[in-house]
């Protein structure tokens, strides 16, 4: 399920044939991403016509493998292929905005995601940097009716929440590969009776793993 960071391709597009059998189910037909920079966020009116919200499919090469829906059913997304990776994030922002000790997210390229329903214009955006209800990546995407969180939108990727996915044939392998920002944890895992052998990082991967010999004594 997991893949290296090298597989994250900003202009990946499902409508190109796979040339490398080891590559996930998305490839490189050029598809310009939205200009979501903070300086232009208020002027960016075209982002709803670009991934991960919409793109015109030529033929039938977008093969839906996964599907997510908010609690009230107004907002729905479909996902092409499997996620690149999955993580548990323990940062303070995720704790606060999700009302939970940590966030579970699966990572997809934006061009492997598209919206299939937005009833009553229910899509809601919250810019975590500006702390305003506007579309300015990175931002939180949710349903304005039932308030269900759907995903975090970044510049090139979507961090979707498996809790909103519908799995008619059981649960796929969306198991996370690491705990990130574990130094900011609210609760230690083994104090909750959770035994995790996954690596735990102080921040992101590049900051290196935490020495866990004295872990969970706080």
The one-digit pLDDT tens for each residue of the chain (218 residues) are: 333 333 333 334 444 444 444 444 443 333 334 343 444 444 456 888 888 998 776 666 778 889 999 999 999 999 998 899 888 888 888 888 888 888 888 999 998 999 999 999 999 999 988 999 999 999 999 999 999 999 999 999 999 999 899 887 777 678 888 888 888 888 776 555 465 678 788 787 666 666 554 454 44
CA distances for 191 relative to 34, 42, 185, 187, 210, angstroms: 43, 45, 12, 7, 17
Contact assessment for residue 178 and residue 87, using Cβ atoms and an 8 Å cutoff: yes
Contact assessment for residue 210 and residue 216, using Cβ atoms and an 8 Å cutoff: no
pLDDT, residue 43, reads: 45
**Whole-prediction pTM value?**
0.70
Q: Where are the domains of the chain?
A: 28-212
Distance between CA atoms of residues 147 and 64, nearest Å:
25
pLDDT, residue 194, reads: 61
Question: How many other C-beta atoms are found inside a 10 Å radius of the C-beta of residue 129?
Answer: 11
pLDDT, residue 59, reads: 63
pLDDT, residue 152, reads: 93
Tell me yes or no: is domain 28-212 CATH 2.170.150.70. yes
């Amino acid at each position: 399920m997991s893949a290296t960071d090298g597989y994250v391709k900003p202009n990946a597009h499902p409508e190109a044939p796979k040339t490398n059998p080891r590559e996930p189910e998305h490839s490189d037909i050029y598809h310009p991403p939205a200009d979501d920079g903070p300086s232009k966020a208020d002027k960016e009116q075209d982002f709803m016509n670009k991934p991960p919200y919409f793109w015109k499919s030529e033929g039938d090469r977008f093969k839906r493998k996964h599907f997510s829906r908010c609690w009230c059913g107004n907002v729905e997304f479909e996902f092409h292929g499997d996620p690149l990776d999955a993580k548990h994030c323990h940062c303070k922002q995720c704790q606060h905005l999700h009302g939970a000790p940590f966030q579970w997210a699966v990572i997809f390229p934006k061009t492997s995601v598209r919206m299939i329903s937005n009833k009553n214009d229910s899509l809601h955006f919250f810019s975590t940097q500006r702390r305003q209800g506007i579309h300015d990546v990175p931002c939180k995407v949710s349903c304005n009716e039932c308030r269900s969180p759907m995903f975090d939108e970044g510049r090139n990727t979507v961090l979707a929440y498996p809790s909103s996915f519908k799995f008619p044939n059981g649960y796929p392998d969306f198991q996370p590969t690491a705990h990130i920002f574990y130094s900011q944890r609210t609760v230690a895992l083994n104090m909750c009776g959770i035994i995790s052998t996954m690596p735990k990082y102080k921040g992101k991967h590049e900051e290196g793993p935490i020495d866990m010999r004295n872990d969970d004594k706080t």
